[in-house]
Structure 1
Amino acid sequence: MTASPKSRRRVLVGVSAVAAVSLGVGVAAGSRITSPEDAAAKTAAPKASQITVPVAKKALSSKVIGRGDASFDGAVNIRVETSGLTTPAIVTGKVPAVGSTITEGKALLEITGRPVIGLAGVLPMYRTLSPGSKGPDVLQLEQTLDRLGLDPGTVDDEYDTDTSQAVERLYEKAGYDAPAPDERLTQAVDQAKKQVDAAKNQLRQARAQLKQAKDAAKAGGNTDTSVQQGAVDDAESNLADAQQAQSEAEFKAGTPLPVSEIVYVKTLPRRVDDVKVERGGTVNGVVMSASGASLVVTVKVDAETAQRLKAGMAATLDLGEGTAVAAKVRRITKNGNQYDVVVAPNALTASQLALLRDANVRVTIPVKSTGGKVLAVPVAALSSGADGGSRIEVLRNGKTELVPVTVGLSADGYAQVTPAGDARLSEGDQVVVGR
């Protein structure tokens, strides 16, 4: 059966439509197909851009920063040597309170009714001193008495009458009677005085007999008075000997300084930190511990850091609550594998003292400073050239330029730089610190 012309046109239209649809699908599919090279190009990371910062002009300061505990400086244990006492070493008064101050020349304790006077000195009191004593402990005593204005005479290592009198003034100033000499010494003085009196009587008698003999000679009697004159000479010699013996006895009976009544401490005044005795108790070893009257802060550092520090450096103590106090490094001492840096405040108000007492505080010690504003770049901007010198990359007009520099002080992540040779570098230049 032959199709009509109308039917053939419908078939042709349908085939054309299918072809058109197929072509569209093919074009669409083709647009989604990419080569491996194109895919890689599309997924690659974008080209890295340079990270720059401007050259700054600022003052740099290298610092040592740490934390330290506040304490009273130089704690020591105070002992009283009681071996010279003939009675038990009973504490009878003047027991100090914790926090009180030990002052030079004042009693810090009373034992058996007698004072224990504190003096500044290095040598401990290890024996009773009395007229005739010699040695370095006597020299230390006289130096102390002289410093206190008590006039010990010539400052030497001999305990003489001037020393005794100065010791008497020391006790008078402290509010106590001076120590009494040994009873045997005072008895020796009494005996010597009697010997002097007897020698004087003997001399008076001898002189009277000589006068009688001379008067008799004038009256025509015996003119030989040699015997009577010899008796006078002997009596005068005996009197001189007796007087010399009295002087020696009185010298030996001068004011002593008992070993149990003086305590030497390296420096005074000091603060009482702890008391080991009580009134009515017996002294046995340490009676109290004391430290300096001034508060200090001790920071522990390693050997490398300690080498950068020295006594006298300025420091700052951060007491918190927005309070900072100027201070100085007092000393640096080795303590095992570390070093103790002792920092003392220059001055403290009552409120600052309260904040610092027993606190742990931040300590800042400037070590070096540029002394003003200098060109500075982040440390990350520095690199080394083939010659070993330092350099930085400066971005100018879209291009980087290597600028050789001399590096100075580094602090807080920045380094002082100076352009080397004919190189140019100014504040605000953009330096590359990364990509």
Structure 2
Amino acid sequence: MTRRTWRVLVAAVVTLAAAGAAIVVRDDDREIPPAAAGLAATTTVRRQTLAESVTVDGKLGYGDPIPMKSAASGTVTWLPKPHSTVRLGGTVVHADNRPVVLLTGVLPMYRPLSPGVEGPDVRQFERNLRALGYTGFTVDDEYSDATARAVRRWQKKLELPTTGTVDTSWVIVAAGPVRIAELKVRVGDPAAGPILTYTGEGSVVTVDAEADAAGWAKPGAKVSVGLPTGKKAAGTVTHVGAEATAKEGKDPTVPVTIKLGDPKAAGGLRAAPVEVTYTGEQRKNVLTVPVPALLALAEGGYGLQVVEGGVVRYLAVKVGMFADGRAEVSGAGLTEGMTVGMPS
């Protein structure tokens, strides 16, 4: 549940508290000693940026599972264990006792790679091959004979036919290391088609942000994550869903994924409810006072008790945004550094 109504609640509390504590009739020409005005303390009008903090509920976990498909022919003869992690060069399935291995990148294996083929998918593959420790070729957009020789060495190690050609029958590409979420096949099933679902290997926080209030959720946005342990961890928005969905009786939401700055911040927690706090509306370079400095004026609106030269006068002000216990104020005669009262 979001807390988007907090400003309304704060404003209502301020109104009631001020009205109950002190309702004054303003008389700008009347000078009142501070003691007679009931001042417990004074403060100063400050110029600053006022920013609201909005807290929404989130969930610590691994994010939504992603399906993985295999193009290998034959029969499934081995599968990884659920919740295990497969990294670059690791095996995601055996088909007819031959491994189908994981590579990382943004482009899928959409065509066979062999000498003479050129393109960004070649460069991506060669980066993977270099990361696996194979050398003797140049990482570029051209699949050369030297690349094919390195591939044959790799295929020999994997006990695959040493063709020097890479195709979708024994390679699957994902964005990074994967954590196996759920197996979709069993040993003995056909190897081609959906075989499992996976997530990233690290914990993430997901939030269903209300679609009409998701302006804060942009990749790179910084947030604070409140953990069940009472600790707070820094987080960064990494992904925002492009499609809003609505459950029955609920407002439409978009999924937001947040990565923790310190992967160890969650400790041993792998799944838990969390609170995500982000910076909402901001008011830059405005005059502010502590909320308790506001007085409800009998004629309506709010005012401040201005202390000058040992006497007090009342100054009507317009109240704007509330945040962090302070209120935005403006009005004729109000200046930065002005001393105002804190009514008892």
**2:161 matched to which residue of 1?**
179
Identity of aligned residues (%): 29
Matches within 5 A, 1:9-20: none
> Which runs of no fewer than 5 residues in structure 1 stay unpaired?
1-47, 182-254
Residue 243 of structure 2 contacts residue 254 of structure 2 at CA under 8 Å; is this kept in 1? yes
Q: Give yes or no for contact 2:86–2:177 (8 Å, CA) kept in 1.
A: yes
Q: Give the counterpart of 2:259 among 344, 347, 352.
A: 344
Assess if the C-alpha contact under 8 Å between 2:238 and 2:259 holds in 1: yes
Equivalent residue number for residue 77 of structure 2? 92
How far does the alpha carbon of each residue in 1:381-429 deviate from its partner, in whole angstroms, 9 at most, with x for none? Answer: 589x9xxxx9624387998622457x67521564134675466842534
Conserved 8 A contact 1:117-1:262: yes
- Which of 1 and 2 has greater Rg? 1
Distance in 1, Cα, partners of 2:241 & 2:293: 33
Looking at structure 2, the residues matched to 256 and 163 of structure 1 have their Cα atoms a distance apart, in angstroms, of 9
Q: Secondary structure at the match of 2:227?
A: strand
Alpha-carbon RMSD across the aligned residues, in angstroms, is 4.0
Aligned equivalent of 2:190, options 282, 285, 301:
282
Q: 1:55 to 1:403 in 2, by over 3 A?
A: farther
TM (normalized to structure 2)? 0.69
Counterpart of 1:312 in structure 2 is 220
Determine if contact 2:51/2:283 at 8 Å carries over to the other structure: yes
Q: Kindly indicate whether residue 20 of structure 2 is the aligned counterpart of residue 107 of structure 1.
A: no
| Match among 416, 419, 422 for residue 328 of structure 2 | 416
Number of aligned positions between the proteins: 294
Structure 1 residue 123 corresponds to structure 2 residue 123: no
Equivalent in the alignment of 1:50: 22
Q: Match for residue 169 of structure 2?
A: 260
**What are the within-5 Å matches in structure 2 for residues 15-414 of structure 1?**
50-51=22-23, 61-73=51-63, 75-82=65-72, 85=73, 89-93=74-78, 95-151=79-135, 153-171=137-155, 175-181=157-163, 255-265=164-174, 267-336=175-244, 337-349=252-264, 352-355=266-269, 357-367=270-280, 375-377=289-291, 381=295, 392-394=303-305, 401-404=314-317, 410-411=322-323, 414=326
| Cα separation, partners in 2 of 1:91 and 1:379, compared to 1, 3 Å | farther
Query: Quick one: distance in 2 between partners of 1:422 and 1:346?
Result: 42
The alpha-carbon deviation at position 77 of structure 1 amounts to 1.1
Q: Structure 2: which amino acid aligns with 1:416?
A: E
Q: Which amino acid aligns with 1:392?
A: G
Shift of 1:91: 1.7
Look up the equivalent residue of 2:180 and give its one-letter code: V
TM-score (norm 1): 0.56
Distance 1:370 1:127, change over 3 A: closer
Answer whether contact 2:293 2:341 (CA < 8 A) is retained: no
Contact 2:296-2:303 within 8 A present in 1 as well = yes
> As a proportion of its length, which structure holds more strand?
2
| Alignment CA distance shift 1:56-1:311 (3 Å) | farther
In the alignment, residue 361 of structure 1 is paired with which amino acid?
Answer: V
Q: Report the secondary structure of 2:241's partner residue.
A: strand
Deviations 1:148-173 (A, max 9, x none): 4533624444433111122134446x
CA–CA separation in structure 2 for the residues paired with 1:402 and 1:118: 70
Secondary structure of residue in 2 paired with 1:151: coil
Q: Given the superposition, is the C-alpha separation of residues 332 and 379 from structure 1 closer, same or farther in structure 2, using an over 3 Å criterion? A: farther
Instruction: Assess if the C-alpha contact under 8 Å between 1:119 and 1:263 holds in 2.
Output: yes
Give unpaired runs (5+ residues) of structure 2: 1-19, 25-38, 245-251
**What does residue 36 of structure 2 align with?**
none
Q: Between Structure 1 and Structure 2, which shows a larger proportion of helix residues?
A: 1
Code of the residue aligned with 1:318 in structure 2: it is G
Contact conserved, 1:376 with 1:417, CA < 8 A, in 2?
Answer: no
Partners of 2:21 and 2:225 in 1: CA distance: 44
1:312 and 1:124, CA in 2 relative to 1: closer, same or farther beyond 3 A? Answer: closer
Residues 425, 395 of structure 1: alpha-carbon distance in 2 compared, 3 angstrom cutoff = closer
The CA distance in 2 between the partners of 1:106 and 1:125, in whole Å, is 16
Distance of aligned partners of 1:74 and 1:151 in 2 relative to their CA distance in 1, 3 Å threshold: farther
Shift of 1:269: 0.9
3-state secondary structure, aligned to 2:198: strand
One-letter code aligned to 2:258: V
